[in-house]
Structure 1
Protein backbone atom coordinates (compact mmCIF):
# COMPACT_ATOMS: atom_id res chain seq x y z
CA UNK A 1 0.00 0.00 0.00
CA UNK A 2 1.23 3.47 -0.84
CA UNK A 3 1.27 5.80 2.17
CA UNK A 4 -1.12 8.70 1.50
CA UNK A 5 -0.87 10.54 4.83
CA UNK A 6 -3.21 10.82 7.82
CA UNK A 7 -6.68 12.39 7.90
CA UNK A 8 -8.61 14.15 10.66
CA UNK A 9 -10.76 10.99 10.89
CA UNK A 10 -7.65 8.99 11.84
CA UNK A 11 -7.14 11.28 14.83
CA UNK A 12 -10.85 11.18 15.75
CA UNK A 13 -10.60 7.40 16.18
CA UNK A 14 -9.11 8.03 19.66
CA UNK A 15 -12.43 9.57 20.76
CA UNK A 16 -14.45 6.42 19.94
CA UNK A 17 -15.87 4.83 23.10
CA UNK A 18 -15.23 1.21 23.97
CA UNK A 19 -12.28 -1.08 23.37
CA UNK A 20 -13.87 -3.13 20.61
CA UNK A 21 -15.15 -0.21 18.54
CA UNK A 22 -11.94 1.80 18.82
CA UNK A 23 -9.76 -1.23 18.02
CA UNK A 24 -11.91 -2.01 14.99
CA UNK A 25 -11.33 1.51 13.63
CA UNK A 26 -7.59 1.42 14.43
CA UNK A 27 -7.27 -1.92 12.60
CA UNK A 28 -9.23 -0.86 9.53
CA UNK A 29 -8.09 2.77 9.14
CA UNK A 30 -4.77 3.42 10.91
CA UNK A 31 -3.00 0.07 10.91
CA UNK A 32 -2.64 -0.21 7.09
CA UNK A 33 -0.96 3.22 7.09
CA UNK A 34 1.40 2.20 9.90
CA UNK A 35 2.21 -0.98 7.97
CA UNK A 36 3.01 1.09 4.87
CA UNK A 37 5.29 3.33 6.98
CA UNK A 38 6.80 0.18 8.50
CA UNK A 39 7.66 -1.16 5.07
CA UNK A 40 9.19 2.13 3.91
CA UNK A 41 11.19 3.01 7.00
CA UNK A 42 12.50 -0.47 7.77
CA UNK A 43 14.41 -0.15 4.48
CA UNK A 44 15.59 3.44 5.00
CA UNK A 45 16.48 2.92 8.69
CA UNK A 46 18.45 -0.23 7.79
CA UNK A 47 20.47 1.87 5.34
CA UNK A 48 20.84 4.70 7.88
CA UNK A 49 21.94 2.58 10.85
CA UNK A 50 23.88 -0.09 8.94
CA UNK A 51 21.81 -2.76 10.74
CA UNK A 52 18.75 -4.65 9.56
CA UNK A 53 15.75 -2.91 11.12
CA UNK A 54 12.39 -4.64 11.56
CA UNK A 55 8.98 -2.92 11.82
CA UNK A 56 6.66 -3.74 14.74
CA UNK A 57 3.11 -2.40 14.47
CA UNK A 58 1.36 -2.07 17.86
CA UNK A 59 -1.21 -4.83 18.35
CA UNK A 60 -2.57 -3.71 21.77
CA UNK A 61 -3.15 -7.41 22.40
CA UNK A 62 -3.01 -7.30 26.21
CA UNK A 63 -5.90 -4.84 26.49
CA UNK A 64 -9.16 -6.22 27.82
CA UNK A 65 -11.02 -3.08 28.98
CA UNK A 66 -9.41 0.28 28.23
CA UNK A 67 -9.15 1.33 24.58
CA UNK A 68 -5.68 2.54 23.47
CA UNK A 69 -5.10 6.32 23.49
CA UNK A 70 -2.29 6.05 20.95
CA UNK A 71 -0.95 3.62 18.37
CA UNK A 72 2.36 3.29 16.55
CA UNK A 73 4.89 1.39 14.49
CA UNK A 74 8.32 0.83 16.07
CA UNK A 75 11.61 -0.15 14.42
CA UNK A 76 14.37 -2.18 16.07
CA UNK A 77 17.26 -4.37 14.99
CA UNK A 78 15.44 -7.38 16.41
CA UNK A 79 12.79 -9.38 14.55
CA UNK A 80 10.97 -10.60 17.65
CA UNK A 81 10.36 -7.33 19.46
CA UNK A 82 11.47 -3.77 20.10
CA UNK A 83 10.79 -2.94 23.76
CA UNK A 84 14.10 -4.27 25.08
CA UNK A 85 16.09 -2.45 22.38
CA UNK A 86 16.85 1.16 21.48
CA UNK A 87 14.27 1.86 18.78
CA UNK A 88 12.53 4.40 16.56
CA UNK A 89 8.78 5.05 16.54
CA UNK A 90 6.10 6.77 14.47
CA UNK A 91 2.63 7.06 15.95
CA UNK A 92 -0.51 9.01 16.75
CA UNK A 93 -2.28 10.40 19.78
CA UNK A 94 -5.60 12.21 19.37
CA UNK A 95 -3.79 15.58 19.27
CA UNK A 96 -0.57 14.91 17.37
CA UNK A 97 1.79 12.63 15.49
CA UNK A 98 5.06 11.65 17.18
CA UNK A 99 8.39 10.57 15.72
CA UNK A 100 10.74 9.24 18.40
CA UNK A 101 14.04 7.63 19.20
CA UNK A 102 13.35 5.73 22.42
CA UNK A 103 14.96 3.69 25.17
CA UNK A 104 12.09 2.51 27.37
CA UNK A 105 11.98 0.81 30.76
CA UNK A 106 12.30 -2.77 29.46
CA UNK A 107 15.72 -2.07 27.89
CA UNK A 108 18.54 -3.78 29.82
CA UNK A 109 21.10 -1.24 28.51
CA UNK A 110 19.22 1.69 30.10
CA UNK A 111 21.68 2.46 32.86
CA UNK A 112 24.76 2.25 30.61
CA UNK A 113 22.99 4.33 27.99
CA UNK A 114 22.23 6.97 30.62
CA UNK A 115 25.94 7.10 31.47
CA UNK A 116 26.84 7.58 27.79
CA UNK A 117 24.31 10.42 27.52
CA UNK A 118 25.73 12.02 30.65
CA UNK A 119 29.23 12.07 29.15
CA UNK A 120 27.89 13.70 25.98
CA UNK A 121 25.34 16.15 27.42
CA UNK A 122 26.95 19.27 25.95
CA UNK A 123 27.47 17.59 22.58
CA UNK A 124 23.80 16.53 22.50
CA UNK A 125 22.80 20.17 23.07
CA UNK A 126 24.64 20.98 19.82
CA UNK A 127 23.38 18.13 17.64
CA UNK A 128 19.71 17.91 18.68
CA UNK A 129 17.66 20.93 17.52
CA UNK A 130 16.07 23.09 20.21
CA UNK A 131 12.65 22.50 18.59
CA UNK A 132 12.88 18.74 19.27
CA UNK A 133 11.09 17.42 22.36
CA UNK A 134 12.11 15.06 25.18
CA UNK A 135 10.01 12.77 27.34
CA UNK A 136 10.62 10.42 30.26
CA UNK A 137 7.43 8.39 29.80
CA UNK A 138 6.15 6.86 26.56
CA UNK A 139 2.67 6.33 28.02
CA UNK A 140 1.97 10.08 28.31
CA UNK A 141 1.28 12.43 25.37
CA UNK A 142 3.19 15.44 26.70
CA UNK A 143 6.87 16.20 26.11
CA UNK A 144 9.17 19.15 26.70
CA UNK A 145 10.87 21.21 23.99
CA UNK A 146 14.67 21.17 24.26
CA UNK A 147 14.62 24.97 24.00
CA UNK A 148 12.70 25.21 27.28
CA UNK A 149 14.76 22.63 29.18
CA UNK A 150 17.48 23.89 31.48
CA UNK A 151 20.80 22.01 31.66
CA UNK A 152 19.72 20.82 35.14
CA UNK A 153 16.43 19.40 33.83
CA UNK A 154 18.16 17.56 31.00
CA UNK A 155 20.82 16.27 33.39
CA UNK A 156 18.17 14.96 35.78
CA UNK A 157 16.36 13.13 32.91
CA UNK A 158 19.66 11.47 31.99
CA UNK A 159 20.56 10.63 35.65
CA UNK A 160 17.11 9.16 36.25
CA UNK A 161 17.63 6.75 33.36
CA UNK A 162 20.65 5.35 35.18
CA UNK A 163 19.00 4.58 38.49
CA UNK A 164 15.17 4.45 38.30
CA UNK A 165 13.64 1.15 37.18
CA UNK A 166 10.68 2.73 35.36
CA UNK A 167 12.70 5.57 33.81
CA UNK A 168 12.71 6.07 30.04
CA UNK A 169 14.09 8.55 27.54
CA UNK A 170 12.51 9.59 24.26
CA UNK A 171 13.57 12.31 21.85
CA UNK A 172 11.99 13.47 18.62
CA UNK A 173 9.23 15.65 17.26
CA UNK A 174 5.53 16.24 17.78
CA UNK A 175 3.49 17.45 14.80
CA UNK A 176 0.07 18.89 15.61
CA UNK A 177 -2.93 17.18 14.08
CA UNK A 178 -3.75 20.26 11.94
CA UNK A 179 -0.27 20.29 10.45
CA UNK A 180 -0.30 16.54 9.74
CA UNK A 181 -3.65 16.46 7.94
CA UNK A 182 -2.45 19.21 5.60
CA UNK A 183 0.64 17.25 4.57
CA UNK A 184 0.72 14.80 1.68
CA UNK A 185 2.05 11.29 2.25
CA UNK A 186 5.35 12.13 0.57
CA UNK A 187 5.78 15.38 2.57
CA UNK A 188 5.24 13.47 5.80
CA UNK A 189 7.69 10.74 4.75
CA UNK A 190 10.33 13.42 4.02
CA UNK A 191 9.74 15.03 7.41
CA UNK A 192 10.04 11.70 9.24
CA UNK A 193 13.13 10.80 7.20
CA UNK A 194 14.93 14.01 8.16
CA UNK A 195 13.91 13.55 11.82
CA UNK A 196 15.38 10.04 11.91
CA UNK A 197 18.62 11.36 10.37
CA UNK A 198 18.84 13.99 13.12
CA UNK A 199 18.19 11.34 15.81
CA UNK A 200 20.77 8.90 14.41
CA UNK A 201 23.62 10.06 16.74
CA UNK A 202 21.42 9.13 19.76
CA UNK A 203 20.91 5.66 18.29
CA UNK A 204 24.63 5.29 17.55
CA UNK A 205 25.42 6.14 21.20
CA UNK A 206 23.40 3.11 22.27
Structure 2
Protein backbone atom coordinates (compact mmCIF):
# COMPACT_ATOMS: atom_id res chain seq x y z
CA UNK A 1 0.00 0.00 0.00
CA UNK A 2 1.21 3.51 -0.84
CA UNK A 3 1.17 5.75 2.23
CA UNK A 4 -0.63 9.03 1.45
CA UNK A 5 -0.71 10.44 4.98
CA UNK A 6 -3.24 10.27 7.79
CA UNK A 7 -6.89 11.36 7.49
CA UNK A 8 -9.66 12.36 9.87
CA UNK A 9 -11.08 8.86 9.40
CA UNK A 10 -7.92 7.33 10.88
CA UNK A 11 -8.23 9.36 14.08
CA UNK A 12 -12.01 8.85 14.27
CA UNK A 13 -11.43 5.10 14.70
CA UNK A 14 -10.77 5.82 18.39
CA UNK A 15 -14.26 7.26 18.88
CA UNK A 16 -15.99 4.00 17.87
CA UNK A 17 -17.60 2.21 20.82
CA UNK A 18 -16.96 -1.45 21.57
CA UNK A 19 -13.87 -3.61 21.14
CA UNK A 20 -15.06 -5.55 18.08
CA UNK A 21 -16.32 -2.53 16.14
CA UNK A 22 -13.26 -0.42 16.90
CA UNK A 23 -10.87 -3.24 16.03
CA UNK A 24 -12.70 -3.89 12.77
CA UNK A 25 -12.33 -0.24 11.77
CA UNK A 26 -8.72 -0.11 12.97
CA UNK A 27 -7.75 -3.19 10.98
CA UNK A 28 -9.45 -1.85 7.85
CA UNK A 29 -8.43 1.81 8.08
CA UNK A 30 -5.27 2.31 10.12
CA UNK A 31 -3.39 -0.97 10.09
CA UNK A 32 -2.54 -0.94 6.34
CA UNK A 33 -0.94 2.49 6.87
CA UNK A 34 1.08 1.23 9.82
CA UNK A 35 2.23 -1.73 7.73
CA UNK A 36 3.29 0.66 4.95
CA UNK A 37 5.19 2.80 7.48
CA UNK A 38 6.78 -0.35 8.87
CA UNK A 39 8.11 -1.39 5.49
CA UNK A 40 9.23 2.13 4.61
CA UNK A 41 11.30 2.90 7.70
CA UNK A 42 12.76 -0.51 8.60
CA UNK A 43 15.64 -0.23 6.08
CA UNK A 44 16.62 3.32 7.05
CA UNK A 45 16.44 2.54 10.78
CA UNK A 46 18.60 -0.53 10.15
CA UNK A 47 21.14 1.66 8.38
CA UNK A 48 21.09 4.36 11.07
CA UNK A 49 21.33 2.02 14.06
CA UNK A 50 23.68 -0.54 12.57
CA UNK A 51 21.25 -3.28 13.64
CA UNK A 52 18.73 -5.04 11.44
CA UNK A 53 15.38 -3.55 12.51
CA UNK A 54 12.12 -5.44 12.14
CA UNK A 55 8.68 -3.76 12.07
CA UNK A 56 5.99 -5.00 14.49
CA UNK A 57 2.44 -3.71 13.97
CA UNK A 58 0.36 -3.73 17.16
CA UNK A 59 -2.26 -6.49 17.09
CA UNK A 60 -3.97 -5.68 20.43
CA UNK A 61 -4.53 -9.43 20.72
CA UNK A 62 -4.70 -9.58 24.52
CA UNK A 63 -7.70 -7.27 24.70
CA UNK A 64 -11.03 -8.86 25.58
CA UNK A 65 -13.16 -5.90 26.73
CA UNK A 66 -11.60 -2.45 26.41
CA UNK A 67 -10.93 -1.16 22.89
CA UNK A 68 -7.46 0.32 22.25
CA UNK A 69 -7.05 4.09 22.66
CA UNK A 70 -3.95 4.15 20.46
CA UNK A 71 -2.15 1.96 17.95
CA UNK A 72 1.34 1.82 16.43
CA UNK A 73 4.09 0.10 14.53
CA UNK A 74 7.28 -0.56 16.50
CA UNK A 75 10.79 -1.30 15.20
CA UNK A 76 13.28 -3.44 17.10
CA UNK A 77 16.38 -5.50 16.33
CA UNK A 78 14.46 -8.66 17.18
CA UNK A 79 12.23 -10.50 14.73
CA UNK A 80 9.99 -12.01 17.41
CA UNK A 81 9.06 -8.91 19.40
CA UNK A 82 9.97 -5.43 20.55
CA UNK A 83 8.74 -4.95 24.12
CA UNK A 84 11.89 -6.25 25.80
CA UNK A 85 14.16 -4.19 23.58
CA UNK A 86 14.95 -0.53 22.95
CA UNK A 87 12.72 0.35 20.02
CA UNK A 88 11.17 3.04 17.87
CA UNK A 89 7.46 3.63 17.35
CA UNK A 90 5.13 5.46 15.00
CA UNK A 91 1.48 5.56 16.01
CA UNK A 92 -1.58 7.58 16.80
CA UNK A 93 -4.08 8.51 19.46
CA UNK A 94 -7.33 10.28 18.64
CA UNK A 95 -5.55 13.62 19.16
CA UNK A 96 -2.13 13.19 17.56
CA UNK A 97 0.52 11.13 15.79
CA UNK A 98 3.53 10.10 17.90
CA UNK A 99 7.08 9.16 16.97
CA UNK A 100 9.07 7.62 19.81
CA UNK A 101 12.30 6.08 20.87
CA UNK A 102 11.21 3.89 23.78
CA UNK A 103 12.43 1.63 26.55
CA UNK A 104 9.31 0.24 28.22
CA UNK A 105 8.82 -1.67 31.45
CA UNK A 106 9.34 -5.15 29.96
CA UNK A 107 12.96 -4.36 29.03
CA UNK A 108 15.29 -6.30 31.37
CA UNK A 109 18.17 -3.83 31.02
CA UNK A 110 16.25 -0.61 31.69
CA UNK A 111 17.96 -0.06 35.04
CA UNK A 112 21.36 -0.15 33.35
CA UNK A 113 20.07 2.09 30.56
CA UNK A 114 18.67 4.60 33.07
CA UNK A 115 22.15 4.81 34.60
CA UNK A 116 23.68 5.54 31.18
CA UNK A 117 21.09 8.25 30.54
CA UNK A 118 21.91 9.82 33.89
CA UNK A 119 25.65 9.81 33.17
CA UNK A 120 25.08 11.37 29.73
CA UNK A 121 22.49 13.95 30.76
CA UNK A 122 24.55 16.96 29.69
CA UNK A 123 25.01 15.52 26.19
CA UNK A 124 21.30 14.66 26.00
CA UNK A 125 20.39 18.21 26.96
CA UNK A 126 22.50 19.41 24.03
CA UNK A 127 21.52 16.98 21.27
CA UNK A 128 17.78 16.41 21.77
CA UNK A 129 15.77 19.30 20.26
CA UNK A 130 13.81 21.39 22.71
CA UNK A 131 10.55 20.89 20.78
CA UNK A 132 10.72 17.14 21.49
CA UNK A 133 8.75 15.56 24.32
CA UNK A 134 9.44 12.98 27.04
CA UNK A 135 7.19 10.45 28.74
CA UNK A 136 7.45 7.90 31.54
CA UNK A 137 4.37 5.88 30.51
CA UNK A 138 3.54 4.72 26.98
CA UNK A 139 -0.09 4.00 27.95
CA UNK A 140 -0.91 7.68 28.54
CA UNK A 141 -1.06 10.46 25.94
CA UNK A 142 0.29 13.14 28.29
CA UNK A 143 3.93 14.22 27.88
CA UNK A 144 6.62 16.51 29.28
CA UNK A 145 7.61 19.20 26.76
CA UNK A 146 11.40 19.31 26.75
CA UNK A 147 11.61 23.10 26.49
CA UNK A 148 9.59 23.37 29.72
CA UNK A 149 11.68 20.84 31.65
CA UNK A 150 14.56 21.56 34.01
CA UNK A 151 17.61 19.32 34.21
CA UNK A 152 16.22 17.98 37.52
CA UNK A 153 12.97 16.92 35.79
CA UNK A 154 14.89 14.86 33.27
CA UNK A 155 17.10 13.36 35.96
CA UNK A 156 13.97 12.35 37.84
CA UNK A 157 12.74 10.37 34.82
CA UNK A 158 16.14 8.69 34.44
CA UNK A 159 16.37 7.80 38.13
CA UNK A 160 12.82 6.46 38.13
CA UNK A 161 13.75 4.16 35.24
CA UNK A 162 16.40 2.62 37.49
CA UNK A 163 14.29 2.18 40.61
CA UNK A 164 10.61 1.68 39.68
CA UNK A 165 9.56 -1.63 38.15
CA UNK A 166 6.84 -0.16 35.92
CA UNK A 167 8.89 2.90 34.90
CA UNK A 168 9.52 3.63 31.24
CA UNK A 169 11.31 6.24 29.16
CA UNK A 170 10.11 7.58 25.83
CA UNK A 171 11.41 10.52 23.81
CA UNK A 172 10.18 11.86 20.50
CA UNK A 173 7.65 14.11 18.83
CA UNK A 174 3.91 14.58 18.63
CA UNK A 175 2.15 15.83 15.48
CA UNK A 176 -1.25 17.29 16.41
CA UNK A 177 -4.18 15.76 14.53
CA UNK A 178 -5.11 19.02 12.76
CA UNK A 179 -1.56 19.28 11.41
CA UNK A 180 -1.17 15.58 10.59
CA UNK A 181 -4.26 15.44 8.33
CA UNK A 182 -2.85 18.28 6.19
CA UNK A 183 0.45 16.50 5.52
CA UNK A 184 1.05 14.46 2.38
CA UNK A 185 2.60 11.03 2.65
CA UNK A 186 6.01 12.39 1.66
CA UNK A 187 5.76 15.27 4.14
CA UNK A 188 4.86 12.81 6.90
CA UNK A 189 7.83 10.63 5.93
CA UNK A 190 10.13 13.65 6.11
CA UNK A 191 9.01 14.69 9.61
CA UNK A 192 9.25 11.13 10.94
CA UNK A 193 12.65 10.54 9.35
CA UNK A 194 14.01 13.76 10.84
CA UNK A 195 12.77 12.71 14.29
CA UNK A 196 14.41 9.28 13.98
CA UNK A 197 17.75 10.84 12.98
CA UNK A 198 17.70 12.98 16.12
CA UNK A 199 16.69 10.02 18.33
CA UNK A 200 19.42 7.63 17.13
CA UNK A 201 21.95 8.83 19.78
CA UNK A 202 19.53 7.64 22.52
CA UNK A 203 19.40 4.19 20.90
CA UNK A 204 23.18 4.04 20.66
CA UNK A 205 23.59 4.83 24.36
CA UNK A 206 22.30 1.38 25.36
| TM-score higher than 0.5 | yes
Query: What is the RMSD computed on CA atoms of the aligned residues?
Result: 0.5
Structure 1 stretches (4+) deviating beyond 2 angstroms?
Answer: none
Match of 1:78 in 2: 78
Q: CA deviation at 1:151?
A: 1.2
- The separation in 2 between residues aligned to 1:190 and 1:49, in whole angstroms, is 18
- The separation in 2 between residues aligned to 1:165 and 1:99, in whole angstroms, is 24
Residues 9-88 of structure 1: matches in 2 within 5 Å?
9-88=9-88
After TM superposition, the score normalised by the length of structure 2 is 0.99
1:148-195 deviation digits (Å, cap 9, x = unpaired)? 111111111000001110000000000100000000000000110010
Count of aligned residue pairs for this structure pair: 206
1:17-68 deviation digits (Å, cap 9, x = unpaired)? 0000000000000000000000011111011111110000000000000000
After TM superposition, the score normalised by the length of structure 1 is 0.99
For the residue of structure 2 that corresponds to 1:63, the secondary structure is coil
For the residue of structure 1 that corresponds to 2:106, the secondary structure is coil
For the residue of structure 1 that corresponds to 2:71, the secondary structure is strand
For the residue of structure 2 that corresponds to 1:172, the secondary structure is strand
Unmatched segments (≥5 aa) in structure 1: none
- The separation in 2 between residues aligned to 1:123 and 1:145, in whole angstroms, is 18
Match of 1:194 in 2: 194
Q: CA deviation at 1:2?
A: 1.0
- The separation in 2 between residues aligned to 1:137 and 1:73, in whole angstroms, is 17
For the residue of structure 2 that corresponds to 1:68, the secondary structure is coil
- The separation in 2 between residues aligned to 1:145 and 1:2, in whole angstroms, is 32
